[in-house]
Amino acid sequence: MAALLWFRRDLRLRDLPPLLAAADDGDVLACFVLDPRLEALRARRRLQFLYDSLRHLRDALDGRLLVTRGLPEHQIPLIARDIDASAVHVSDDFAPFGARRDTRVRAALGEIPLVATGSPYLVSPGRVTTDDGAPYRVFTPFFRKWQEIGWHSPARSGPDSVRWLDPGSVAGTAVQRCDIPDPGVRLDLPAGEAAAVRRWGDFVRDGLQRYATDRDYPDRSGTSRMSAYLKFGAIHPRTMVADLDLRHRGPRAYLRQLAFRDFYAAVLHHRPDSAWGNWNRDFDAIETDTGDDAQQLFAAWKAGETGFPIVDAGMRQLRATGFMPNRVRMITASFLVKDLHLPWQWGAQWFLEQLVDGDIANNQHGWQWCAGSGTDAAPYFRVFNPTVQGEKFDPTGDYVRHWIPELASADDAHLRKGQRPPTYPPPIVDHGLERAEALRRYQRVRES
């Protein structure tokens, strides 16, 4: 007897329930399918992190990882039949793309079952509902119910808990093996399960207790940088939660962010159309700018040339590293939709192209929170003042000075005193005027 273990967003061997389920079926062949639709994405950093993660997984398996390229609905049935698999085992995938893919693969497998065990979440989408079975529309009651439902302890899986098949045992000539690509992108974050476990351990020791406050201050490196590892399943959140002492404020704040991750996954699961459309359809009527002038403003925002230091610092960090702290993501997103009046989808697309940790549920619904069109959205009248936000969360100006060389020697990095170096661009908009315009547009939607 043999089983096929198909890796997707679960690139690890520890705390991996489908690995244990596959082991119960006999010898196990591990595989990964390079889907050309994903390879075509303009997200080179994220692809680099994925491929690096695959290389680490292959090494952990002593080379016993079959990597092939093609549509999964073609490749997975071929591999499963070549090894006479009794089942194909996976972690469940609830994102719209993954759900559609799995439906096609399940149909193509015919009598061979596609067995989903576990998911990338603490509590899988669809499990946290109101008493009448409806999905939650607001985070706070979701969070209470989420904690009541709870989650399993980490699964006791590992590389030695399975009898692995060598990829050379795949006899069929129709299954084409391929090398793991290398786009040649330089990342500031090492990939793989060992790196994830090591970084989490360092954060628990040195950053977790300060997380509740430091996470909002980009000059303090107060975030854990675990989001990319969670995105590709190099570590499961169960493993992380086991280290949280919830008697303390920092761990409680961190748990809340993991709950937000589950919440947004659930929102997208119940409303797949909200990946690119407004969750609150009333906001389909919001007036946005899309002409040539709007495109020029968008280009300045992407380049970090808006003349607002905290916005530009964040956008330059994103372009240089593929990362931006969450507080700065909110500031830059608010600026795009409420100061520049551009569609949130433009910003969401740019973030997905740049971010190493780009996740469709977190990214899209974080943007909709800022735009006012999502669940638990920021009130329409909340328009971040980028200068005030910069002074509050980067009080020393060190974050701005680091990412904007033109302001490296400025006494007032946030330019509140108006001493603007000639090499740094002037503001592309007047925040006070654009705030009033944003409120006018939002009020019209509210009234309608």
1 appears as a binding residue in the annotation = no
The annotation status of 261 as a binding-site residue, yes or no, is: yes
- Residue 137 annotated as lining a ligand binding site: no
Measure Cα distances from 298 to 38, 75, 180, 303, 306 in Å: 25, 40, 35, 9, 9
Scan for tokens 């970090």, then name that residue: 304
259 is annotated as contributing to ligand binding:
yes
258 appears as a binding residue in the annotation: yes
On whether 225 is known to bind a ligand per the annotation, the reply is: yes
Q: Is 264 annotated in some ligand binding site? A: yes
- 229 is an annotated ligand-binding site residue: no
**Token code pair at residue 170:** 């795949």
Task: Tell whether 157 is in a known binding site.
Answer: no
State the Cα–Cα distance between residues 331 and 292, nearest whole angstrom. 24
Paired tokens of 398: 């060190």
For residue 221, say whether it is annotated as part of any ligand binding site. no
**According to the annotation, is 334 in a ligand binding site?**
no
Residue 226 annotated in ligand binding? yes
Contact at 8 Å (CB) between 275 and 268?
Answer: yes
Residue 227 assigned as binding residue: yes
According to the annotation, is 296 in a ligand binding site? no
Query: How much is the CA Rg of the chain, to the nearest whole Å?
Result: 23
Instruction: State whether the Cα torsion 202-206-211-216 is positive or negative.
Output: negative
Residue 395 phi, psi dihedral angles, 5° rounding: -60, -30
Query: How far, CA to CA in Å, does 336 sit from each of 22, 114, 327, 341, 431?
Result: 47, 43, 15, 6, 12
53 is in an annotated binding site: no
211 labelled ligand-binding = yes
Annotated binding site: 211, 223-227, 254, 257-264, 357-359
Annotated binding site for FAD: 211, 223-227, 254, 257-264, 357-359
